[in-house]
Amino acid sequence: MNKINLKSAATLREPAELVAHGLAPATDLADLEKVAARYAVAVTPDFAALIDPSDPDDPIARQFIPSVAELVTEPRENPDPIGDHAHSPVAGIVHRYPDRVLFKLVHVCAVYCRFCFRREMVGPGKATALSQAAYRCAIDYIRAHKEIWEVILTGGDPLMLSPRRLAEIMVDLAAIDHVRIIRIHTRVPVADPARITPETISALKVKGATTWVALHANHVRELTGKARAACADIIDAGIPMVSQSVLLRGVNDDAATLEALMRGFVECRIKPYYLHHGDLAPGTSHLRTTLEHGQQLMRALRGRVSGLCQPDYVIDIPGGYGKAPVGPNYLSQADSSSQVNSFSREGEQTPETRYRVVDYCGDVHLYPPKS
């Protein structure tokens, strides 16, 4: 493992710094500078310390160390791959589903993932946060739309805000009668767990609404002792947590790695929630798997771990049409050769087509349509 001194190290933001710390080869510097000119780079000391420079396939490095492959954009890739802009009535708000909105408060993160679907919208050179006028307009929009039950704070990473500012936002949202749930999407507890202070946790708790925190992590090595302690502090304060992960080639695209990650979440009292198929963001094709492979992994996971460890495998439909579950289907109608006779309630014999149900071992069983 590398020898970065975490007590004195700062977040690495330049390709030259990555090379100096042994996290990228010097021969790649010119190409990495081209990548960094287009997409933000940031690797926190906590994540840098997890990378094994001797392993060319290190799963942490693949998530955060830039690659020349990012300069290749496929025709089907899109700067707004899930259609945020199509559902943004005012700055900072994405209102795709009737009962909830995304509230994009900031455009900075503790770390910048190489697969980020908002990579064209975050990082240096972009506005760091909503202006005060845009913020008030967004709050007014939420207040005017009484169907909004849940507000999801995202960005960027909302936990990059100061505890004081975060507390102000939470109070503003909780003061809206119809907003009952405030969900925070974040990577901070794993990327920079020292930011999860008592002041931050206090800011998350607010009268009038229930807070949930969704943690983004993709490999069990991200769940370090410090990260687990940060999550425990959040949960011990009465704030429930769920997980979201992205299925990534070379990071977590095998059953054993996914199993370890989902077990790690549950051991931390974090309920696995979403496993996202990689979005069609520019320069990310080298990190995407196929949908068929994802379905195979979900089928394998079903037989390996308990129901507590099962996330929903979902895809965001390009164009802004929302998420759809795309896991394997275990139920289908049996073909005509499987038809049997059964008796209706009146005792009259009627033909009946049964269902085929596949168990976790892959064996097929027939099940009647009326139980």
Active-site residue set: 96-97, 100, 109, 113, 116, 118, 279, 316, 323
Residue with tokens 């929630």: 273
Q: Would strands 364-367 and 181-186 be described as parallel, antiparallel, or unpaired?
A: unpaired
Question: Which residue(s) pair with 366 in the sheet?
Answer: 356
Residue with tokens 């510097």: 29
- State how far the Cα of 261 lies from the Cα of 282, in Å rounded to an integer: 27
- State how far the Cα of 240 lies from the Cα of 250, in Å rounded to an integer: 30
Which helix or strand (DSSP H or E) is residue 105 part of?
none
Beta strands in 165-209 (DSSP E): 181-186
Residue with tokens 């990495």: 32
Residue with tokens 């492959």: 69
- State how far the Cα of 304 lies from the Cα of 321, in Å rounded to an integer: 32
- State how far the Cα of 189 lies from the Cα of 217, in Å rounded to an integer: 9
Spell out the residues 6+ positions from residue 300 whose beta carbon is closer than 8 angstroms to its own.
255
DSSP 29: H
